[in-house]
Amino acid sequence: MKGQTEPVVVAKRVDSGDADTAEIRHLAEAAGYEVVGEVTQTRKADPALQLGEGKAAELARKVAQRDASRVVFDNRLGPYQKFNLGKELPDGVDVDDRFTLILDIFGQRAQTRKAQLQVELAELRYELPRAEAKTSLAKRDEKPGFMGLGEYDESREKDIKAQISRIRDELEAIEHDEQQRREQRRESGFDLVALAGYTNAGKSTLMRALAEDLDVDENDDLHPDLDSTAESENRLFTTLGTTTRRMDMDRRDVLLTDTVGFISDLPHWLVESFKSTLDSVYQADLVLLVVDATESVDEMREKLVTSHDTLYERNSAPIVTVLNKVDEVDSEELAEKQRALSALAPDPVVVSGRDEVNLDGLRQRIHEELPERQHERLVLPMTEDTMSVVSWVHDHAYVEDVDYGDEHVVVEFEARESIVEQTRSKASSLAEA
C-alpha cells in the first residue's frame, strides 16, 4: 500500500471541452496519494506522449517544482507513451494511468479470496496485450526491449494465459457456492434486494439507514462505513466484497446487499474481471439503482444510461431508481432534474440516506416491487409435531393470525410461493402421520 503522503501530479487530456480532474483526483486520494498539482490539455492525443511536447515539458517542470514522485494520467497510456513520458520526467518519477491506479486501489482493498482473485485476474488481463506486444515486436525486429517494453520472453505470454484460465476456474467454483447460498436464502423465505450505482452515490450510507446493526454472516468484506461505530465516508472503493444485511421491514423478510460501485470509463477487460462481484445484483429479486441527486443532469443521465446497460445485460428483476442526497438539493432543482430524466427514471424514489428522509416511502416501494406474495390459510391437525410446523411458518413467512383449537391449529400467513408449497407439504405430512 502506498504511503499516505506520497505526492503526485495528475494529468488529463481531452479532445474537446474542459478537462475535469475531479474523479482522477478522488481516485488518487483513494489510493493513498496526495495530489499536489495538475496539468490538463485540450487537443488530439499525441501518439508518443499523449500530451503535446510543450505540455509534456510543462508537466515535467511542475513535477520538479512540487517534488512529486509520481504522475497519474486520467487517460489510458500505452507502453510506448509511458516509456517516452518517463524520459521527459525527472529521474525516479513513476507514471501511471487511471487503470493501473484503479488496480492499485482494488489491490489495497481486496480482503477476501474472491476479491484477491479478481484483482489478480484484472492485472493479468492488463498485462496480456503488453506481453503479446513484446512477443510480436521482438519477433519482428529481433530487438529485445524494443520501445522500452522489456526483455522478450515468449513463455511469459503463455504463463499469463494459463494463470487466467486457473483463476477463472476458481472464481466459477466460488460463484457456484454463492449461488447456492442465495437459493438457500430464498428457500428460507427471504426476498433479495441489491443496491447498485456509482461510487459516492451514497449506497453504503443508505444501507446503514435501512438495515443498521442487522448483519448477516457473510464471508465477504464488510464496508468500514457500515460498521455500527463508524462514520460514513465520502471516498471511492470502500470495498471490493459484498455486504449483506437483514432489512427492517414489517411484512417481509428482506436481505439487502451492497457491492462495489460502478465507475466511469472502465475498459472491457477490467469490467469483465470484476463482473462476478455483481452476481448478487444480477440474481436479486429487486435492484435499487442509487443516483447522486446533487450531480448535474448531464452527469446523472450519463450514469443512468451506463448503469442500465450494465444491469439489463444479465438482470431480469425490476429496477427502481433512488435519487439520494435530496437534503442537499432544493425542491425546485430536484423537480427540474426529475423532469429532465423522466425517460430514464420515470418514477424515482427521492430519499436522503444521511438524514433518513422518505425511508418509509422507499420501504413501501420495495414491498410493492418485490414478487407478489400468496395468502394462505392452513388447517393443521393437533399432533406432537404441529407446534414445530407452526414455528417453522413463523420463521419463514409473515403470520397474520394463529387460532389454537382442541383438535386443529389454523394458521393464516403471507409468503413466497415456494414457502407456501413447503407449508402445504408439511401440513400433508402431519395429516398422514
Binding site for GTP, by residue number, is 197-204, 258-261, 324-327, 352-354
Q: Please list, in sequence order, all residues whose beta carbon lies within 8 angstroms of the beta carbon of residue 190, skipping any fewer than 6 positions away.
A: 253, 254, 255
Give the residue among 40, 49, 44 at the shortest CA–CA distance from 22: 40
Kindly report the number of other CB atoms within 10 A of residue 48's CB atom.
16
Task: Tell me how far apart the alpha carbons of residues 333 and 284 are, in angstroms, rounded to a whole number.
Answer: 32
Question: Beta 191-197 vs 286-292: how paired, if at all?
Answer: parallel
Residues 6+ apart with CB under 8 A from 242: 218, 220, 221, 257, 258, 259, 277, 280
Do the beta carbons of residue 192 and residue 246 sit within 8 Å?
A: no
Strands (E), 118-224: 191-197
Task: Give the whole-angstrom CA distance, residue 85 versus residue 77.
Answer: 10
Binding site per annotation, positions:
197-204, 239, 258-261, 324-327, 352-354
Distance CA 364, CA 347 (A): 14
List Cα–Cα distances, 98 to 1, 62, 204, 230, 383, in angstroms.
17, 20, 24, 29, 67
CB 50 within 8 A of CB 72: no
Q: Nearest to residue 305, comparing CAs of 317, 316, 289?
A: 289
Beta strands in 293-406 (DSSP E): 319-324, 349-350, 374-381, 398-404
Instruction: List, as residue ranges, the binding site for Mg(2+).
Output: 204, 239
Question: Terminal CA-to-CA distance of the chain, rounded, Å?
Answer: 64
Supply the angle between the helices 113-141 and 98-109 in degrees, to the nearest 10: 150
